[in-house]
Amino acid sequence: NSTVLACTMGKQRVSYFYHPTCPLFYYGPSHPMKPHRLKLAHHLILAYHLYPKMDCYRCHPASASEMTAFHSEEYVNFLAKISPDNLRQYSGVLQKFNAGDTTDCPVFDGLYEFTQLYTGASIDGAIQLNQQQADICINWSGGLHHAKKSEASGFCYINDIVLAILELLKVHARVLYIDIDVHHGDGVEEAFYTTDRVMTFSLHKYGDFFPGTGHLQDVGAREGVGYSVNAPLQAGITDETYLEELFIPVMDKIMEVFNPGAIVLQCGADSLTGDRLGCFNLTTKGHAQAVRHVQSYNRPTLVLGGGGYTIRNVARCWAYETAVLLGEDIDNQIPFNDYYEYYAPDYELHLKPDPNMENINDSLGKIRTELLQQLSDLQGAPSVQMQQVPPPFRTIDDEEGSGKRRVSKTQSPAELYDNVD
């Protein structure tokens, strides 16, 4: 079919969500999470002239009521009120919500606004996919997969992924979540652990590594048994072993058995070689090959960021993956941009694997066999009666003449790009 072929060759309609305020937030001087990496990635996307090939949007800030579709009201209210200036007033609940200086989730200036922006972009992307306004939606500021219903965790405060999946479930009977971050996607898995409408597939470092979950035997519970798919890996995994021995065969089986209506792909870049916190040996090409493979299934796909702590490499990775999703070939020589000096000494886009890093993954065959068996045991795609699916979100208020719009319109190039934010 030539139509399907055209789509798989990167001719899908791509929407890109970016808010110029998002990279300005600061977790603190010694904290590894640097939102500034979003600006580096954005400027590379600009320098490679990828932005005219996409519909570019500035997201709406998510409201508290949107966040409480998953999170507890008490937790969201806490995030909305807390600031470095009033920390003492909240000393009693900081521990309860796992935030503050004694945790890896500090309270910094503008914290709530930061969560509103990265979450709003993911929800906007999900709504566009539901309304068939785009085939692929990209939000590199999203993908904060550790946040729980009532607590922050692992640099994540609001779980934009869970909220986006809940939005997709209003239209799609089944949603697949894929997580290629070096850390286990625990917050998303936990949220959907007992349902057969969401399958989660996470490939991650396991054993003496945060968050400590994601064992091969963690397969889901109740109606969700078999729908949590975990590939626990060891340090040093390479492109070839990651893709050929695990990712591609397991993904192909998932698509055959689960047949999702939509896909959410978390592209944490801490699984790249040379990451400050990660310990894998993937290159930008290998990481992007996983993205390309997911795109080849030709399903509505929400593509999100996530971890990534060597920020020059995060920018390389996400700019290249933007090009891959657009079906564009881009040069290995990084074009001049405002952050050009970050890419010294080689000023090249692609990373080379570390030749001194040993790949200690010696049981990939066993893991693959177990996961394929787990998937084979599922009795085909679960049948969800479509009348159980709530009606899709209406973009324009029903009240005549109210004119309120939920999804922002395409920005003109002058607004978003010529005065580069």
- The single residue of 146, 172, 183, 184 carrying the catalytic annotation is 146
Contact 165, 197 (CB under 8 A): no
Which whole-number Å values give the CA distances from 87 to 106, 110, 116, in the listed order?
11, 13, 20
Beta strands 136-139 and 228-233, pairing class:
unpaired
Contact 66, 121 (CB under 8 A): no
d(Cα 68, Cα 71) in Å, to the nearest integer?
A: 5
146 is catalytic: yes
Tokens of 215: 């064992």
d(Cα 352, Cα 272) in Å, to the nearest integer?
A: 10
d(Cα 49, Cα 45) in Å, to the nearest integer?
A: 6
Residue (of 111, 126, 245) closest to 175 by Cα position: 126
User: For residue 200, what are the contacts with CB-CB under 8 A and spacing of at least 6?
Assistant: 177, 179, 185, 188, 189, 192, 227, 228, 229
H/E stretch holding 231 reads strand 228-233
Instruction: Provide the β-strand partners of residue 99.
Output: none
- Determine if the peptide bond prior to 211 is cis (ω within 30°): yes
Contact 320, 251 (CB under 8 A): no
The 10 Å CB-count burial string (b at 16+, else e) for 221-248 is eeebebbbbbbbbbbbbbbebbbebbbe
Contact 84, 108 (CB under 8 A): yes
User: For residue 371, what are the contacts with CB-CB under 8 A and spacing of at least 6?
Assistant: 216, 229, 231, 246, 250, 253
DSSP string, 12-72: S-EEEE--TTGGG----TT-S--TTHHHHHHHHHHHTT-GGGSEEEPPPPPPHHHHTTTS-
Please give the positions annotated as active site. Answer: 146
